[in-house]
Amino acid sequence: MSADASAVDTGATAPRPRAVVFAVMPGGHGEPGEEEPLNEIKELLSSADMDWVAEVIQRKERPHPHSYLGKGKLVDLKAAVQESGATVAVCEDDLSPGQVAAVLDAVDVDVLDRTELILTVFSKHAHSLEGTLQVHLAQLEYELTRMRGKGLILSRLGAGVDMRGPGETKLEVDRRVVRKRIQTLRRRIDHMARTRRTQRARRLRAAVPLIALAGYTNAGKSTLLNALTDADVSVRDRLFETLDPTSRSYRFRDRDYVITDTVGFIRKLPHSLVDAFASTLEETTLADVILVVADAHLEPSEIEVREQTVAEVLDMLGAQAPRIVVFNKTDLADSGNLARLRALYPEAEFIAAARGEGLGRLQERLAVFFDRALRPVRLLFPYAAAADMHRLRGVASDVHEEHTPDGVIFVARLPVAEAGRYSRYRLDTTVLDVEASGAGDEPPDPSAMAGDDEEDDGES
């Protein structure tokens, strides 16, 4: 009876995995920023509900091609695992199958590389069906590249013409099963992506401005989304807290906007994850403007590295929309670092989304950016056209209404395409003729956005 109770207690209070982190790093001690990669892997461990207990670092220009660590450091790693009672060894880099086997032989505990650890975090934080399927797809694609023969269990050589033993046959069967599951998952994800594209097409037809949030993980994108739209997206302080894309609308100065939160980025983001989440990340390629959210309370050198990582991923995705850097968490930043950031990024916005500070200025800047594509109109709606009036209020800016015996006169600013749609209600042909003549003009140059905004700010 006591043994059963003990078993129950053990199951109820299962200990968290204890991890030893090992890495190969170039350079010597004391170089600026050299500890940051390990700090990031430790944050990933925390997000994966693992405890960091020790670390083993080897100073070399590149890892050993067969065992990652050299022989002496493998001995140190084994000692660190034994002394700390670790249950897993985690590598800061990706490992080849041969390197995993070499480390396993040395430490005799589970070995995870960087991609496996990120996949573990993703699997814990994916809640929607699409997010779960995307993570599962990435896991299977990673597993497929790591599948090896069962040399210790079944022979890979046998008698006969093809010389394939039971181990080789089992390996091919396993690979076939995994490939089939990958194809099935891709079909399901593609179907969901088509549904999202249909919803997105409706927004595009409605000419609602599309804003995408991008940036390093845990920079506060979801907090900004919540602050602007009163959404209830989870905002816990850990990496990759939000994996599922969330689109919400908000209204500012008589105009609706749609803003989408996307998956956070990280240094050395595995390509398999980018491919698996392509349908989610494509929001950044279709947005009218991208808000690149950054953590203001980090050191400027680290911010620069993270901004470069974000830029590389966005470029890899083919995101061509203008980008506005938004520094969040200014309430946590050191005043000296904050002053340096303002000097280094004069075109950026500075906010504290959790406190609602700086949001009005950010919304105003977005409104100014989108207003450049608007044209003035003067329309008369009969009272029977209530549906058209309701729709116009969602896409127009600076709306002024006047009720008359003949209907409602609207004086507003509309996108060019929308102005043509309402041409049958036009009152002032001169305005609309000007509108029509400007319909083929090139849109404003996005690259001039930051400079123009600075001038506007200066005037205000």
Answer whether 117's CB lies under 8 Å from 48's CB: yes
Q: Note the pLDDT of residue 16.
A: 86
Strand ranges in 289-330 using DSSP code E only, listed in sequence order: 289-295, 323-328
Mind giving me the DSSP string for 339-394? Answer: HHHHHH-TT-EE-BTTTTBTHHHHHHHHHHHHHTTEEEEEEEE-TT-HHHHHHHHH
Give the mean model confidence (pLDDT) for residues 376-390.
88
| pLDDT tens digits, 262-273 | 777 777 776 666
Report the largest interatomic distance among the alpha carbons of the chain, rounded to a whole angstrom.
Answer: 96
Q: Note the pLDDT of residue 203.
A: 58
Q: CA gyration radius for the chain?
A: 28
pLDDT level of residue 193 (50, 70, 90 thresholds)? confident
Q: Note the pLDDT of residue 420.
A: 76
Q: What is the average pLDDT value for the chain, to the nearest integer?
A: 77
Answer whether 368's CB lies under 8 Å from 451's CB: no
pLDDT score of 146 more than 60: yes
Give the mean model confidence (pLDDT) for residues 212-216.
88
pLDDT level of residue 201 (50, 70, 90 thresholds)? low
pLDDT level of residue 90 (50, 70, 90 thresholds)? very high
Between helix 97-107 and helix 71-84 the angle, nearest 10°, is 50
Q: Note the pLDDT of residue 455.
A: 40
One fold for both 14-112 and 207-369?
Answer: yes
Which class in CATH covers the domain with range 207-369? alpha beta
**Could you tell me the two tokens for 355?**
């406190």
Q: Note the pLDDT of residue 441.
A: 42
Q: In the chain, what are the domain boundaries?
A: 14-112, 127-189, 207-369, 374-438
This prediction has a pTM of 0.66
Helix (H) or strand (E) holding 187: helix 166-205
pLDDT level of residue 15 (50, 70, 90 thresholds)? confident
Q: Note the pLDDT of residue 280.
A: 62
pLDDT score of 117 more than 80: yes
Give the mean model confidence (pLDDT) for residues 452-457.
42
pLDDT score of 29 more than 60: no
Q: Note the pLDDT of residue 240.
A: 53
Helix (H) or strand (E) holding 285: helix 283-286
What letter would DSSP give residue 203?
H
Other C-beta atoms lying within 10 Å of the C-beta of residue 332: 13
pLDDT score of 382 more than 80: yes
Which class in CATH covers the domain with range 14-112? alpha beta
**Could you tell me the two tokens for 434?**
């000007």
Other C-beta atoms lying within 10 Å of the C-beta of residue 233: 17
Q: Which of 436, 433, 428 is nearest to 411 (CA)?
A: 428
Angle at 134 between CA 96 and CA 147, to 5 degrees: 30
Give the mean model confidence (pLDDT) for residues 279-304.
83
Weakest mean pLDDT among 122-126, 200-204, 229-233, 420-424: 200-204
pLDDT score of 24 more than 70: yes
- Backbone φ, ψ for residue 430 (5° rounding): -65, -45
Weakest mean pLDDT among 32-41, 138-147, 220-229: 32-41
Answer whether 24's CB lies under 8 Å from 69's CB: yes
Mind giving me the DSSP string for 99-150? Answer: HHHHHHHHH-SEEE-HHHHHHHHHHHH--SHHHHHHHHHHHHHHHHHH----
pLDDT score of 2 more than 70: no
| pLDDT tens digits, 359-375 | 999 999 998 888 777 78
Q: Note the pLDDT of residue 325.
A: 94
Give the mean model confidence (pLDDT) for residues 387-405.
83
Mind giving me the DSSP string for 224-257? Answer: HHHHHH-------SSTT---S-EEEEEEETTEEE
Per mean pLDDT, which of 192-196, 263-267, 278-282, 367-371 is the most reliable? 367-371
Weakest mean pLDDT among 32-41, 105-114, 185-194, 319-328: 32-41
Residue 403, SS3? strand
Q: Which of 128, 138, 118 is nearest to 186 (CA)?
A: 138
Which of 317 and 447 is assigned the larger pLDDT?
Answer: 317
Give the mean model confidence (pLDDT) for residues 116-144.
80
**Could you tell me the two tokens for 224?**
């900004």
pLDDT score of 429 more than 60: no
Q: Note the pLDDT of residue 166.
A: 52
- Backbone φ, ψ for residue 59 (5° rounding): -90, 100
Q: Whats the size of the chain, residue-wise?
A: 460
Q: Note the pLDDT of residue 373.
A: 73
pLDDT level of residue 73 (50, 70, 90 thresholds)? very high
Please report, rounded to a whole number, the percentage of residues in the chain having pLDDT higher than 70.
Answer: 73
Q: What whole-number distance in Å separates Cα of residue 228 and Cα of residue 250?
A: 7
Answer whether 281's CB lies under 8 Å from 138's CB: no
Answer whether 49's CB lies under 8 Å from 124's CB: yes
Tell me, which fold does domain 374-438 have in CATH?
Alpha-Beta Plaits (3.30.70)
